[in-house]
Amino acid sequence: MGHAKIRIVEGSDSLASAAADAIVHAANQAIDAEGRFTIALSGGSTPEKAYQLLALPERSRQLDWKRIHVFFSDERFVPHDDSRSNYALAARTFLKLVPIPSANVYAIPVEGTDVQTAAKSYSAMLARFFGISELNRPPKIDFILLGLGDDGHTASLFPGKPSLTETKAWFIGTPPGVLPPPVDRITATLPLLNTGKKVVFLVGGEKKRDIVKAVLIGKNTSYPSVHVQPEFGQLVWLLDSAAASGLKLFTGEHRIS
């Protein structure tokens, strides 16, 4: 298990600002170094405030949006205009409000297909974008944003589901886990997540206290999030003090192995 950097901030507003700032910083670093920035977004409720901050001029004008390419770590198998869609969340909170070319936003296909075919075509699309074969190792996405479910899931890698043991495919279809919404998902697999250059868990609120402790301290391998260990990239847990309260760590930066 590699090292993880843990950053604890005081409350939900600071958590959203810290996440938005981390994305802006990583984007400008990648654009300076390679001329583009690739990010995979997660869904759920936690990232909403951070996404909204990215749309405000204070941060939006710091970004060269035509050099930014947005993917998704997972998606619910519902239409993109469905309120449960992770694409819809990102579109509503920032993608439709910033000058990012629509061609730079790669939604996971959910129409006119089945969930496994959708996962395969998304992997093929990624392979074309990165100029590699989907039979090879996954691409190195610059920034992968993840959440943590109360059951220890991340993206749509749910405890006990076959998607957890996938070693080749980059995206896979999966039935729902125990947490709502009860719809099929398409999810990045552990090989894809663990090839990320910077993998950031964004977790906030008292409700997540116990699962954060179980994952970071207990390291119980029945929790999919425990298996997110980037091979070469950086793993960061960005927590507010409520979610981190079981770790007995003060606000600030820490490293754990």
The residues that touch ligand 6PG, with contacts defined as CB under 6 A, are 42-46, 74, 76, 86, 147-149, 153-156
The CA distance from 104 to 124, in Å, is 16
Comparing CB distances to ligand 6PG, the nearer of 8 and 228 is 228
**Which residues partner with 40 through β-bridges?**
71, 144
Q: How far is the CB of 253 from ligand 6PG (least distance, A)?
A: 22
Q: How far is the CB of 51 from ligand 6PG (least distance, A)?
A: 12
CB-based contact 251:19 (threshold 8 Å): no
**Dihedral sign for Cα atoms in the order 131, 157, 196, 60:** positive
Whose CA is closest to 217, among 239, 192, 195? Answer: 239
Shortest Cβ contact with ligand 6PG: which residue? 147
Q: Cβ atoms within 10 A of the Cβ of 135, count? A: 7
Comparing CB distances to ligand 6PG, the nearer of 88 and 247 is 88
Q: How far is the CB of 34 from ligand 6PG (least distance, A)?
A: 26
Comparing CB distances to ligand 6PG, the nearer of 86 and 194 is 86
Q: How far is the CB of 255 from ligand 6PG (least distance, A)?
A: 24
Comparing CB distances to ligand 6PG, the nearer of 42 and 195 is 42
Whose CA is closest to 98, among 70, 69, 67, 57? Answer: 57
Distance of CA 51 to the CA centre of its chain: 12
CB-based contact 69:37 (threshold 8 Å): yes
Q: How far is the CB of 82 from ligand 6PG (least distance, A)?
A: 12
Comparing CB distances to ligand 6PG, the nearer of 42 and 93 is 42
Comparing CB distances to ligand 6PG, the nearer of 8 and 243 is 243
The CA distance from 185 to 175, in Å, is 6
CB-based contact 163:189 (threshold 8 Å): yes
CB-based contact 103:125 (threshold 8 Å): no
Q: How far is the CB of 76 from ligand 6PG (least distance, A)?
A: 6
